[in-house]
Structure 1
Amino acid sequence: MYLDNQQDEFNGVNKLGSRFSYSFVVEKDSAVLALVSESDSISMILRPHVNTSFQIIRESGKDTVTCTFTVQKLVKPATFTDQYKAENKDKIIIEIPEVYELVNIIFALTAYGKTNAIYKDTDYYKTVIGHFQQYNRDPVVQVMDSLLKLSPGFFYQHLKMDSYAFGFSENQIRNTGVYDRIASGERNELQPYVPMLQTFSEKAGYRAFYKKHLDYYSGLIKDYRNYIKADNMKSWLEKEFPGTKYSAVKVIFSPLVGWNQSASFFNDNHFSEAQAHVNFPFLNSQDLKQSRDIRQGLRMMIAFTELNHAYLNPEAEKHSQTIHAAFNDLSRWITAGKPSAGYNNSLVCFEEYMNYGLVTLYYSDILNKEAFEIMSAHIENNMVNSRGFVRFREFNQELLRLYKNKSSGQTVADLYTDMIKWASR
């Protein structure tokens, strides 16, 4: 594949469904796309807001896939107007957005929805399936199913997060005018599928379904605000990372989200915003047997590990050269074949060590001694034995030692240098 004579890969055709759409991000008003195979080639001029479609005959499946391509100009990810700033400054916003929930419901109807990425142990999930399962052959479900098969990690995260850029206006799904995209990258991955999303919403009676469950959503949001206490997290993080401040913090979730969590950060017009896209921390039967402090620690962990990236990452970037030297031999820090193997560069590896190290520090300040010791051991066991961060236990204990013995006026940000020196030994 060539876009304006720049070569790129276009693999995985045999994994696609019968339809595939994609929008390239370009800096000009048009681009020339050329697809070349061993036996044929095709080229076309792509322009913004114009969909160009063609069919590829797949020899392996003896069928065709209809591809639709367009281009869009590169724009900044968020635009914070003075009105937006006034309405959101100093706020902690927790929400289950309407279009966001629609996308999660569609995920639940795909093959990927059968995995643990979708949380199923609620009456709400059963209600979702009971209402929407009859629409599982709808074009938007089929397209998202094919995307999730093509690259599950990428498209699950990007389609879900990017849906937050949209809302309903006069029963139409439209960009709210605040965000171009939420997830990392240069484009909103959901944008090409909004017309199909609109059709699905109308056909399936989604807006009435969402309205019917507003009390349920409100109850989850109230519980989250009361027990997770994101405002306390923000205060602690800004005290320990005084060089990083956010004008607003948003926690965005769906009761259908299982294990996939992520975060985004935006700066525009002298306004900064941190977003945590998380699950809802439902308690299982074993959790309910624990003390109140332990239950609190279990429930708030995911939210804290996403929010704290907004603070620990900018600080880590200031030390990127020394971190690279200290974590140069990643075999000392991660384990092949375990989740830690995905953190395969020095900076992100250090950041993930600090991520859960900060959880330990925060818990040492807010939990009683017994609960803290149990939660600290739980974190270390999970990080070392389950996730494969082989030196986390000793890293965690050293960070805790430094934190408990820091001098008056010192912050966690001040401890980075000592932790990097320790890691270099």
Structure 2
Amino acid sequence: MKRIILLLSLLLNFVMTAQETRQIQFDEKFKKEYQGSARIEINELKELLHIMIAITEAGLENDDMIQQNGEYYQDVLQHFKKYGNEKIIIKFDSLIKANPLNYVFLTGNGTSYDFKNNQLVANTYYLFPAQSVSGQKITVNPITTYKKEIEDFALTSGFRKFYKAHLPYYKSIISMYHKQANLDEQWKWLEKNFNTKINSYLILCSPLINGFNYTDSYKDKDFKQIVMVLPPIEEEKSLSEKENIVLNTRGMFTEIDHNYVGTPTKKYIKEIEEALKDREKWVNTKQEGTQYYPNPEKVFDEYMTYAAFYLFCVEKFENDQKTLDHAYYSVNQVMKERGFPKMKEFNDGLLAMKKKHPNEKIDDFYPAFIQWLGQL
């Protein structure tokens, strides 16, 4: 199949306060309700947007962007594909063909409106959440622009009935997340090992998400929330139960920890630029997808997110060498395949540094570790 996007994860890189960008607004009621909470949702409007993109020509041709395996995808095609010539579907198709990142601008703003009967009403908290990604910015929420057309499509296609009929399936996806990828455990480990503190987590999932995952950080006054857009939990029949936990934890963890490694990275950006100045050493530039990591900061952060995950595994599976070996091999292998050839050395070096500084936060030994990287 034709590939428009080959990308495993993407960090939305425009994080400012709500007062500056009006991305979000969290009132006292919201903060009280969601302080310390980790929610997993399949949002109704966002799911509609994924379905609409799935039946575009671009979506039908791209199995990285759209998960095209499984019964749910067949249900979507059977129910919605006949509406593929609707004007709004053709418009979405042209937007994604013009710039694949419009996938993020469309789906990422799916929380900015909610259904009330057959109308879309502005969400109280998420005003315009996805404004910038990979250096590209938009100034108008596309959901606002196409609000009437989206409402009409939902009504014409019978989307809300389809969504309601699939609620048991959506609930099973959420249940599997809690079972296979314990977010609370990851959250506690990260806050024990980094200086950054987060108030709330929200995972937005869809059965139609495949390789195009992303995360963002929202802050209003003293309240910070991390939002991650992720596919459902995978269960590989060839893997053991614990190896499946490694697989599924990795997908979530390496999105979450962007928000922890990013702060010290920015603090030591000059040192990182010097240590990773030889791009050809750290990145296989021939590998598709590496263009989304164009500078030493982004390259370092991507290495660090996976290396931090391996440190998490070292602690979680300290009495299970077989599972730990699997985690080590799989992290090194997947990163090499993505175009990051120094993952093994990075993993080994960070683990050695952690053992040398067992009582320090990872932030605290960044300078020593970056200096070591520069000598590789």
TM-score normalized by the length of structure 2: 0.88
Is 1:90 the equivalent of 2:40? no
5 Å-filtered alignment, 1:2-401, equals: 75-114=21-60, 115-116=62-63, 117-152=65-100, 154-183=101-130, 184=132, 185=137, 186-241=139-194, 243-283=195-235, 287-338=236-287, 339-367=289-317, 368-384=320-336, 386-401=337-352
**RMSD (Å), alpha carbons:** 1.4
C-alpha contact 1:81 1:269 (8 A) present in aligned 2: no
C-alpha contact 1:109 1:141 (8 A) present in aligned 2: yes
Q: Which runs of 5+ in 1 are unaligned?
A: 1-73
CA distance in 2, matches of 1:336, 1:75: 34
Higher helix share: 2
Is 1:410 the equivalent of 2:360? yes
C-alpha contact 1:335 1:341 (8 A) present in aligned 2: no
CA drift of 1:75 comes to 4.2
How many percent of aligned residue pairs carry the same amino acid?
27
Larger Rg: 1
CA distance in 2, matches of 1:282, 1:182: 27
Amino acid corresponding to residue 135 of structure 1 in structure 2: Y
CA distance in 2, matches of 1:374, 1:248: 31
C-alpha contact 1:109 1:133 (8 A) present in aligned 2: yes
CA distance in 1, matches of 2:344, 2:57: 37
CA distance in 1, matches of 2:223, 2:140: 22
Correspondence for 1:67: none
Q: Deviations over 1:287-313 (max 9, x none)?
A: 213221111101221111111111111
CA drift of 1:256 comes to 0.6
CA distance in 2, matches of 1:223, 1:382: 23
Q: Which runs of 5+ in 2 are unaligned?
A: 1-19
C-alpha contact 1:99 1:166 (8 A) present in aligned 2: yes
C-alpha contact 1:79 1:269 (8 A) present in aligned 2: no
C-alpha contact 1:101 1:254 (8 A) present in aligned 2: yes
C-alpha contact 1:247 1:273 (8 A) present in aligned 2: yes
Amino acid corresponding to residue 156 of structure 1 in structure 2: Y
CA distance in 2, matches of 1:265, 1:187: 19
Q: Deviations over 1:189-215 (max 9, x none)?
A: 332112111100011111111111111
CA drift of 1:281 comes to 2.3
CA distance in 1, matches of 2:366, 2:143: 38
Considering Cα pairs closer than 8 Å and 6+ residues apart, tell me whether 1 or 2 has the greater RCO: 2
TM-score normalized by the length of structure 1: 0.78
SS in 1 for 2:108: helix
Amino acid corresponding to residue 179 of structure 2 in structure 1: N
CA drift of 1:416 comes to 1.3
C-alpha contact 2:234 2:244 (8 A) present in aligned 1: no
C-alpha contact 1:93 1:251 (8 A) present in aligned 2: yes
